[in-house]
Amino acid sequence: MENISVESICIHSGTSNANGTSGVNTPIYASSSFHYRDTQENIYPRYFNTINQNAIVEKLCALEGTEDGLVMSSGMAAISTTLLSLLKPSDHAVFFNEIYGGTYNLVISEFSKLGIEYTFVDLNQPGALENAIKENTKLIYVESPSNPLLTIVDIKAIARTAKDRNLLTVIDNTFASPINQNPVRLGIDVVVHSGTKYLGGHSDLCFGAILTTKILKESILKSALNFGGSINALDSYLIERSLKTLALRVERQSENAQLIAEFLERTSKVKKVYYPGLPTHENHAVAKEQMKGFGGMLSFEIASSNLQEVNRFLDNLQLIQPALSLGGVETIICSPVLTSHIKVPKEERERVGITDGLLRLSVGAENVKDLIVDLKQALEKL
């Protein structure tokens, strides 16, 4: 069918009945060994070409509007495999200065060992990107909305600048998910996801995804085969099952997050709220232009910006759980300085605005009234 809805894509795209059964789900091919004499290619889990792996990739490509892709063992496997396959010694890459802490640590820990140059820039500063580009620049890496400050960058403008200079672009689309944002349609070359978050959506799977053109996928695959970041058949089945409810989950989470952000902005014990759906967000207009929804992630800074008060607030919560990661159907909260950005130096965190009083809220699919009551009572005890 043409012009099929995103909800129907989530449920139907990629499902395989290659073994001739009449089931509506892709069977689990729990095998690491496949016959080779009667096939055009050797099938093997580490080659990223089993039926269960292909089913996920086809569904994600349909959602993101890409030609091909790879499903990896983690979000960082997807990010590192992409970067280390597209960059070589003496190359230079430009990175948004508000990227996920794990990506930041990858760059500062590994790139110098490999002879790869890099520059971190504020992509919202006029002329910053153009000034950072060198003769040996090969790639621009962005994240929007960013983790944890929900900063928005103009994806279309960055892609246009890159294409004018024949540079590759990579974006981490984890926070938005394919439901709320499709960067390839804005001109980006490669989209990566930490599937552990929204794509899995139930806080029980760890995987990543790379989505791009067939040509770039083949280039990335050459390194992926060596790095070995593949997933097994059972996880593949669970991922495909989870993707069927992606649109339903993300739409509800986005609606809840908008209402919670509006509540927190009205609360005197909250100093600042970071959510692109708020008109007060500095790039709200850009977010409206490039996003279909504003997502289930938000951050806020309590008035007393110290870890002692943060811990008091977390202890007072009754429904919302202090926990790592994000994107699940349950609402969880964390302190970025102790979790996602613990490996980023304190001075660098504070420079971009990640303070001790900042809390990142991953809004779930509960009744939003329950969540607001919980936040309200915990804040009143400060």
**Residue 61's CATH number:** 3.40.640.10
Domain match, 206 and 321 both: no
* Distance separating alpha carbons of residues 187 and 214, to the nearest angstrom: 16
**Which residues, 6+ apart, have CB-to-CB distance to 99 below 8 Å?**
141, 143, 146, 147, 172
Q: Examine the domain organization and report whether 264 and 183 are in the same domain.
A: no
- Residue 1 in domain: no
The three-class DSSP label of residue 210 is strand
pTM: 0.96
Is 300 contained in some domain? yes
pLDDT average per 10 residues of sequence, the chain (382 residues)? 88 81 85 89 94 96 98 98 98 96 95 98 97 98 97 98 98 98 98 98 98 98 97 97 98 98 96 97 98 98 85 96 96 91 84 89 98 97 91
> Is the distance from CB of 243 to CB of 177 less than 8 angstroms?
no
Residues 101 and 174 in one domain: yes
Instruction: Determine the Cα angle at 161 with ends 157 and 165, to 5°.
Output: 165
Specify the number of domains making up the chain.
Answer: 2
Of 220, 243, 266, the domain-final residue? 243
Q: Quick check: is 168 in a domain? A: yes
Q: Which of 233, 231, 236 is nearest to 29 (CA)?
A: 233
Q: Is residue 263 within 8 Å of residue 294, measured between CB atoms?
A: no
Residue 218 lies in a domain: yes
State which of 178, 213, 243 marks the end of a domain: 243
Helix intervals (H) in 136-283: 155-164, 177-180, 214-227, 233-243, 246-265
Asked whether residue 256 falls in the same domain as residue 341, the answer is: yes
Domain that holds residue 291: 251-380
Both 287 and 222 in one domain: the answer is: no
Q: Helices 246-265 and 368-380, interaxial angle, to 10°?
A: 30
What's the farthest any 2 CA atoms get from each other in the chain?
Answer: 70
Identify the CATH number of the domain in which residue 331 sits: 3.90.1150.10
215 found inside a domain: yes
* pLDDT at site 351: 82
Q: Considering the domain boundaries, does residue 33 fall inside one?
A: yes
pLDDT at 161: 98
Task: Tell whether 261 and 205 lie within a shared domain.
Answer: no
Token pair 């509506």 in the structure block, residue: 24
- Cα–Cα distances (Å) from 89 to 5, 16, 53, in that order, read 43, 41, 31
Of 187, 222, 243, which residue sits at a domain end?
243
Cβ neighbours for 174, distance < 8 A, ≥ 6 positions apart: 75, 100, 143, 147, 192, 193, 194, 197, 198, 327
Whether residue 93 is contained in a domain is answered as yes
pLDDT in the model for residue 354: 87
> Within 10 A of 191 (CB to CB), how many other CB atoms are there?
28
Report the distance separating Cα 312 and Cα 310, nearest Å: 5
Together in a domain, 315 and 179: no
Look at residue 164 in the predicted model and tell me its pLDDT.
98
Catalytic residues: 46, 100, 172, 197
Report pLDDT for 342: 85
308 and 238 in a common domain? no
State the pairing for strand pair 137-143/92-96.
Answer: parallel
Q: Is 171 inside any structural domain?
A: yes
* pLDDT value at residue 23: 81
Stated as kind and residue range, the H or E segment containing 40 is none
Instruction: Let me know whether 367 and 270 are in one domain.
Output: yes
Residue 219 has a pLDDT of 98
- 92 and 53 belong to one structural domain: yes
